[in-house]
Chain A
């Protein structure tokens, strides 16, 4: 079946603009994660959705970052008033459930964001 998909694959924007990044998880996966991969910082957890529970936002770096997940499926990560330090690859992952440490996370190809 289809894996996790993300769009766009690349996004170039100007400082101060808002951007929206989309993630389509694997069908049936109830847990969805957003991570950021940047030079010097490695991979950082941003936000985590599990079913209908309130999302775990503990990894979001500032209030300019937000995410929603509609209908328990597609998720959108929004970055408002982008800054150059937001330039990174944003990765989405999904898994069958988020209540066990044994559930493999499947990653999408990422969206490369460049803020000029």
Chain B
């Protein structure tokens, strides 16, 4: 079945540092790809998505590009802030269905 492999954390960065969280996937066809974020004490929320190859999803300064040649959807941000401290999950739908398959999550801590 479809699966997601995500860089495991925790990741600790100083404010204004560059962030990359790697995500690769295994899937039949070309599913939509998602990044979800879970801030401390809050529920999961969609951060960004890409629905086809070469699409770039972006939100709140975060970006991820759907690369079918490398089956990757790496999350990047040029300058992180303390408020970005959270757990980030890469996800894709099960084949032909919409329950999501999640990566293990990457905890990001940004220190001032």
Residues on A facing B (Cβ under 8 Å) = 3-4, 31, 33, 35, 42-45, 48, 56, 59, 91, 93, 95, 98-110
Contacts and interface: CB of A to CB of B under 8 A. Distances in A.
B44 A91 contact: yes
Nearest to B32: A101
B62 interface: no
Given A45-B94, A105-B46, 12 more contacts: A4-B43, A33-B100, A42-B105, A43-B102, A45-B100, A48-B97, A91-B44, A101-B93, A102-B32, A106-B45, A107-B36, A108-B43
A43 B98 contact: no
B57 interface: no
Interface in B73-92: 89
B46 A42 contact: no
B56 interface: no
A98 B104 contact: no
A68 to B, nearest CB: 17
Contact of B99 (A59, A104, A109, A110): A59
Contacts, number: 57
A110 B94 contact: no
B99 A56 contact: yes
Given A104-B46, A110-B43, A98 B101 contact: no
Contacts of B94: 45
A48 B94 CA distance: 12
A48 B104 contact: no
A98 B89 contact: no
B69 interface: no
Most chain-A CB neighbours within 10 Å: which of B42, B45, B100? Answer: B100
B101 A45 contact: yes
Nearest to A43: B102
A3 B104 CA distance: 25
B98 A105 contact: yes
23 contacts: A4-B43, A35-B100, A42-B102, A42-B105, A43-B100, A43-B105, A45-B94, A45-B99, A56-B97, A56-B99, A95-B98, A99-B98, A100-B98, A101-B32, A101-B51, A101-B93, A101-B98, A102-B51, A105-B100, A107-B36, A108-B43, A109-B43, A110-B43
